């Protein structure tokens, strides 16, 4: 019997097509960029190439050198981003887990540079990506960007480095503290760092008996204020600046949190090492800032509710934020010890936290109520964003795709729908795959909404 031979689907699909070996191979990077523009190493996802291409299209060569996120050099001049990142000291403790060490080693240009690595806040932005997004949004030095849910201040840090002014709104007083400290020390005199390290133990002890006092007495460590238990520090450093004082508090809170995750270690054991890593990172950035002659953008940090944004109409040149992944991360529980230390009303905070509010007798009812509250809150916030944006400018929302915890509802699709209803339609989107085995999210969407040029014809009442 004759055996019928059929061409496979793959063979049919490939018939007549040249393989790479038959054609002269040319990589996509060579097609996108001229030889004068060298990409950074460690670019390995398509969204990064998309953003690099966006930067290349939007910025002049000089702007790419000063503000580009994905280039190593342009016309043989090293970019500022490359120089900032390569001058950043190792951010990982020698005794840290190997997967943490591997992560930082594989992401030298992406995450731990400047002051981004100072506190491990969950769900924070990818800083390199945020820099590129601001470039694609057309933001320039002197412009103002708003992050209404600022977390630990990634947008403000990047904006400052790029000479862009920023407004960071954030509900959690602990996250606001992080933002103020991490942005504040971008421009600081590091002359007293050796002495601070020498007195690390005294600094630590100073926090312990004064837990309540620290929250209400912002002038601690300033001239003449600190008294009994820290005479040496007061004598040696009579005028620690406000950002430095908050940085020390952040470092102390970091040590407390870190000790709760490490067996057999007390905050006291961990504080000196953390402080020395904090100061090394700050010093390195400040040295590079001086070498590059950077003029930093101004950052305003407001502890407040994004649903009641008190910012004038049409006063910002861009909005960039990521709403909480509260379905996956309970920020209030996560930061409970630090929030309590700062005297925050944890219960009240939970009620106002987007994504956490809602109730129901069954799990299903709880999810439905949370999702519905989430969209109500996000609509209110997006209306504010539309209101405060100047015409023609972008509002970019970065959101993780997470249908597991929302009963199958796609959050990104809901936001796109809201955007079209309030007169701020989606112009385009970029998708990013989230790596890492411990992440509950698979993809992240960068949604570029744009407020139309000219008169506002939307039904936005600006609640």
Ligand X SMILES: C[S@@+](CC[C@H](N)C(=O)[O-])C[C@H]1O[C@@H](n2cnc3c(N)ncnc32)[C@H](O)[C@@H]1O
Our CB check for ligand X shows the closer of 67 and 307 to be 307
- The rounded distance, in Å, linking the Cα atoms of 235 and 129 is 43
Answer yes or no whether residue 352 interacts with ligand X by CB under 6 A.
Answer: yes
Cβ within 8 Å of residue 14, ≥6 positions away: none
Encoded one letter per residue, x for contact with ligand X by CB under 6 A and - for no contact, window 62-101 reads ----------------------------------------
- The rounded distance, in Å, linking the Cα atoms of 406 and 159 is 33
Answer yes or no whether residue 318 interacts with ligand X by CB under 6 A.
Answer: no
The answer to whether the CB of 61 falls within 8 A of the CB of 34 is no
Answer yes or no whether residue 246 interacts with ligand X by CB under 6 A.
Answer: no
Q: What tokens were used for 389? A: 């944006």
Answer yes or no whether residue 257 interacts with ligand X by CB under 6 A.
Answer: no
How near is the Cβ of 187 to ligand X at its closest, in Å?
20
Q: Which helix (H) or strand (E) holds 167?
A: strand 165-170
Region 151-180 residues binding ligand X, contact defined as CB under 6 A: 151-152, 154, 169-172, 175
Answer yes or no whether residue 386 interacts with ligand X by CB under 6 A.
Answer: no
Count other Cβ atoms within 10 Å, centred on residue 257: 18
How near is the Cβ of 93 to ligand X at its closest, in Å?
21
- Interface pick for ligand X out of 143, 158, 246, 305 (rule CB under 6 A): 305
How near is the Cβ of 357 to ligand X at its closest, in Å?
9
Cβ within 8 Å of residue 424, ≥6 positions away: 382, 385, 386, 389, 395, 449, 450, 451, 458
The answer to whether the CB of 78 falls within 8 A of the CB of 72 is yes
Answer yes or no whether residue 123 interacts with ligand X by CB under 6 A.
Answer: yes
Answer yes or no whether residue 113 interacts with ligand X by CB under 6 A.
Answer: no
Answer yes or no whether residue 324 interacts with ligand X by CB under 6 A.
Answer: yes
Cα dist. 241→185, 187, 188, 245 in Å?
9, 11, 9, 6
Answer yes or no whether residue 306 interacts with ligand X by CB under 6 A.
Answer: yes
Our CB check for ligand X shows the closer of 246 and 305 to be 305
The answer to whether the CB of 184 falls within 8 A of the CB of 168 is no
Our CB check for ligand X shows the closer of 80 and 116 to be 116
Stretch that binds ligand X, among 58-66, 181-189, 210-218, 317-325 (CB under 6 A): 317-325
Encoded one letter per residue, x for contact with ligand X by CB under 6 A and - for no contact, window 198-237 reads ----------------------------------------
Q: Give buried/exposed letters for 220-237 (b at 16+ CB in 10 A, else e).
A: bbbeeebeeebeebbeeb
Binding site for ligand X (CB under 6 A): 121, 123-125, 149, 151-152, 154, 169-172, 175, 305-307, 322, 324-325, 331, 352-354
């Amino acid at each position: 019997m004759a055996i019928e031979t059929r061409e496979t689907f793959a063979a049919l699909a490939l018939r007549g097509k040249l393989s790479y070996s038959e054609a002269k191979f040319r990589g996509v990077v060579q097609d996108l960029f001229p030889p004068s523009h060298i990409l950074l190493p460690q670019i390995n996802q398509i969204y990064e190439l998309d953003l690099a291409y966006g930067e290349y299209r939007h910025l002049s060569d000089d702007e790419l050198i000063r503000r580009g996120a994905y280039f190593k050099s342009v016309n043989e001049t090293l970019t500022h981003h490359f120089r900032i990142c390569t001058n950043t000291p190792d951010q990982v403790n020698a005794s840290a887990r190997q997967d943490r060490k591997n992560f930082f080693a594989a992401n030298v240009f992406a995450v731990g540079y400047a002051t981004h690595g100072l506190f491990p806040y969950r769900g924070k932005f990818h800083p390199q990506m945020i820099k590129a997004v601001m470039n694609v949004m057309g933001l320039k030095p002197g412009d103002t960007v708003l992050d209404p849910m600022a977390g630990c201040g990634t947008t403000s840090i990047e904006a400052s480095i790029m000479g862009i002014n920023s407004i960071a709104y954030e509900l959690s007083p602990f996250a606001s503290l992080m933002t103020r400290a991490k942005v504040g020390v971008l421009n600081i005199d590091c002359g007293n760092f050796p002495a601070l390290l020498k007195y690390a133990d005294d600094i630590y002890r100073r926090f312990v008996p004064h837990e309540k006092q620290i929250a209400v007495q912002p002038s601690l460590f300033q001239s003449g204020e600190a008294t009994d238990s820290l005479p040496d520090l007061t004598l040696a450093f009579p005028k620690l600046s406000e950002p430095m004082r908050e940085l020390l508090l952040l470092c102390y809170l970091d040590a407390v949190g870190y000790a709760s995750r490490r067996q057999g270690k007390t905050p006291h054991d961990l504080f000196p090492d953390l402080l020395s890593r904090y100061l090394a990172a700050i010093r390195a950035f400040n040295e590079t800032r001086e070498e590059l002659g950077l003029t930093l953008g101004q950052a305003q940090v407001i502890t407040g509710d994004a649903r009641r944004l008190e910012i004038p109409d049409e006063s910002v040149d861009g909005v960039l934020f990521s709403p909480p992944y509260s379905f996956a991360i309970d920020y209030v529980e996560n930061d409970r010890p630090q929030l309590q230390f700062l005297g925050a009303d944890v219960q009240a905070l939970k009620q106002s936290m987007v994504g956490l509010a809602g109730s129901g007798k069954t799990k299903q009812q709880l999810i439905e109520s949370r999702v519905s509250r989430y969209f109500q809150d996000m609509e209110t916030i997006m209306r504010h964003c539309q209101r405060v944006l100047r015409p023609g400018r972008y509002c970019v929302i970065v959101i993780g795709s997470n249908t597991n915890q929302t009963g199958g509802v796609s959050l990104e699709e809901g936001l796109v729908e809201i955007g079209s209803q309030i007169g701020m339609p989606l112009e385009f989107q970029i998708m990013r795959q989230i790596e890492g085995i411990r992440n509950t999210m698979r993809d992240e969407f960068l949604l570029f909404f744009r407020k139309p040029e000219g008169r506002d014809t939307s039904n936005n009442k600006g609640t």
